[in-house]
Amino acid sequence: MIPLIQLRGMQNQIIHFAWKNIKIRYRGTNLGLVWMAFEPLLFWVFLYLVFTSINIGAREDFGIYLITGLVIYHNFVRGSQGGLMSLRENFGILSSMNVKREFFPVVATTTSSIVLMVELVVFFGIMGIFQFVPAWTIILLPIVLILLQILILGISYLLSITYAYFRDIQPLWGIFVTALMFVTPIFWYLEDAGGFALEIQKINPLGQLIELTHQIVFGNVPSIQEWLYPSAMIFGILFAAFVIFKKFERHVVEKI
């Protein structure tokens, strides 16, 4: 991928800055880095209690279905929000050092990847609590997770450069990802959807990744088309966002 090729040889710096981001996020809290696991867990517990008290959560293995979608969604939200602020939060470095601008969205995405590893521990831990044994198709999960990080990187390029020129993107993105949770198959089932929700799902790469994960966890092998369509969308987003980023990065320091 072009963005990563341009940063070859900087892997150690990327990981260093990613860990620094994580430490800063939880600095001063009593539980520290443990919050990486507690955040998705507490969110899942709340939604599980709510939806199992109404008909929507009455299906078998709903808890596993819910945590599957939440892990993907939560990581996307965290990663994209970190990417949005990646240039602004490193303004001092950008203004004083000759560093490639695309470095910082990659750092933000690497940060989300590290946190995702912790969230997966919660994911499989909940499977153990429910005595749920995933099918052999779980070996396909890394493919979905890689596509998720590519999507986060593309969105991070787009949001970070947009934020430099248009500050209102921050609250707008917060509203967008909140709305996205309700039109994405996290606590509702695709076969029950129709109308607006189903139409949005067709153009929602995050929703398609979540549905792929649901299929993998519950023992279904997604078709080639179900893999190719979201993959094409995600790589398209990445390259379009990177082109836009490179076009406007020259004056980013003055704009921030």
What digits encode the pLDDT tens for the residues 139-182? 999 999 999 999 999 999 999 999 888 888 999 999 999 999 99
Distance in Å from the first CA to the final CA of the chain: 27
What does the longest C-alpha to C-alpha distance in the chain come to? Answer: 57
What is the residue range of 116's domain?
A: 2-255
Contacts of 235 (CB under 8 A, 6+ apart): 150
Q: How many domains does the chain have?
A: 1
Any idea which residue has 């995600």 for tokens? 234
Mean pLDDT of the residues in the chain: 84
Q: Model-level pTM?
A: 0.85
- Is residue 60's pLDDT more than 90? no
pLDDT, tens digit, 9 for 90 and up, residues 65-111: 999 999 999 999 999 999 998 888 766 666 666 667 788 888 889 98
CA angle 134/39/112 to nearest 5° reads 75
Between vectors from CA 164 to CA 95 and to CA 255, what angle results, nearest 5°? 55
- Per-residue pLDDT for 5 more than 60? no
Rounded Cα gap, residues 161 and 138, in angstroms? 36
| pLDDT higher at 24 or 114 | 114
Kindly indicate the confidence band of residue 253, based on its pLDDT and cuts at 50, 70 and 90: low
What Cα–Cα distance (Å) separates residue 47 from each residue in 57, 58, 97, 175? 10, 13, 45, 19
